[in-house]
Amino acid sequence: MHRARPDDRVAAVREGLAGRELDDTEIVCVVDDNDKLVGILSFAELFRLPGETRLHDVMRSSPAVLASEDQEKIASIALHFGLNSVPVVDNGRRLLGVVPAKALLQILRHEHVEDIHRLAGIRRETSMARRALDIPPMRRARDRLPWLIVGLIGSMLATFVMSRFEGALNEKLALAFFVPGLVYLADAIGTQTEAVAVRGISLSHIGITRMLAGELRTGLIIGLVLGGLTFPAVWLAFGDAQLAFAVSITLFVAGGLATTIGLALPWLLTKLKRDPAFGSGPLATVIQDVLTLLTYFAIVSLLYGHGT
């Protein structure tokens, strides 16, 4: 890291860099007499500008992070502002150092690996998670079981939902044929949203209302297309327009529900100061499965006149 004063000339700063070994060669940090960060200048600009130029005429303001800041926020700031290095300051904005490009890459990689494990329902957050196949089987099982137990409870709930429509299933067995496909497609749509939302919520500066509206529209469009493709196929295969309509409408509704849950659940956990990745995987899947089944059998009941 190299510090300079606002009144320094570009030529003098370049001379001060000669022969020095620097950890960061992306930015020059401009500080005042109290060592407070007032701006930055890239090395590319430094070596392009005329030597007589003073830094206060060409420097630009820069976001900075506190030394106690979570590393994920550091990466978010770097991405949002297009920075290769991020200044680190104290509460008085006095410059402490710089997070260089190499460290930013390591942070992004660490967050990526952590997200992959949490998407899979593995809760371990330490470096052991990155060596998940090297640890003993008992420890692997311990790391994976908590969310899978949640999934087990959810599957029991889904079974209960289906049992409440036993009469409809007994009268028309074909209703059961579509349950696996409907549940799978809802999960797949939700998983796509989760993959974007889990870290996107933390890194994006777009309001939640706008994000939810966009994902809801996306899910409904996906559901509409899938439902439109399904309707004639089911009608031709089973000769039952009502069944085809029930499956198609369920896909339409499930598309909107899955994308909304896939985004809203991680956002809610973020507001509760929990990692948004905990809202993905088994937990979101359970909710999507149950709501999809409820939607399907509610539509079937309306169309065929079956109660619970």
More reliable by pLDDT, 82 or 153: 153
Q: Has residue 195 been placed in a domain?
A: yes
CATH (domain of 35):
3.10.580.10
Q: Has residue 241 been placed in a domain?
A: yes
Encode pLDDT of 208-229 as tens digits. Answer: 788 888 888 999 999 999 999 9
- 284 and 190 Cβ atoms separated by less than 8 Å: yes
| Domain residue limits at 279 | 158-304
Q: Has residue 77 been placed in a domain?
A: no
Encode pLDDT of 16-62 as tens digits. Answer: 887 777 777 788 899 999 999 999 988 888 888 998 999 989 998 88
CATH (domain of 238):
1.10.357.20
User: Is there a single domain that holds both residue 180 and residue 295?
Assistant: yes
Identify the pLDDT of residue 263.
83
Encode pLDDT of 188-204 as tens digits. Answer: 898 888 777 665 665 56
- 168 and 303 Cβ atoms separated by less than 8 Å: no
Q: Has residue 200 been placed in a domain?
A: yes
CA distance 179 to 255: 15
User: Is there a single domain that holds both residue 189 and residue 94?
Assistant: no
Identify the pLDDT of residue 306.
57
Q: Has residue 210 been placed in a domain?
A: yes
- H/E element, 86: strand 86-89
Task: Kindly report the pTM of this predicted structure.
Answer: 0.60
Strand partners, 50: none
Identify the pLDDT of residue 308.
46
User: Is there a single domain that holds both residue 94 and residue 203?
Assistant: no
Total count of domains within the chain = 2
Using DSSP's 3-state secondary structure scheme, residue 239 falls into coil
Q: Has residue 137 been placed in a domain?
A: no
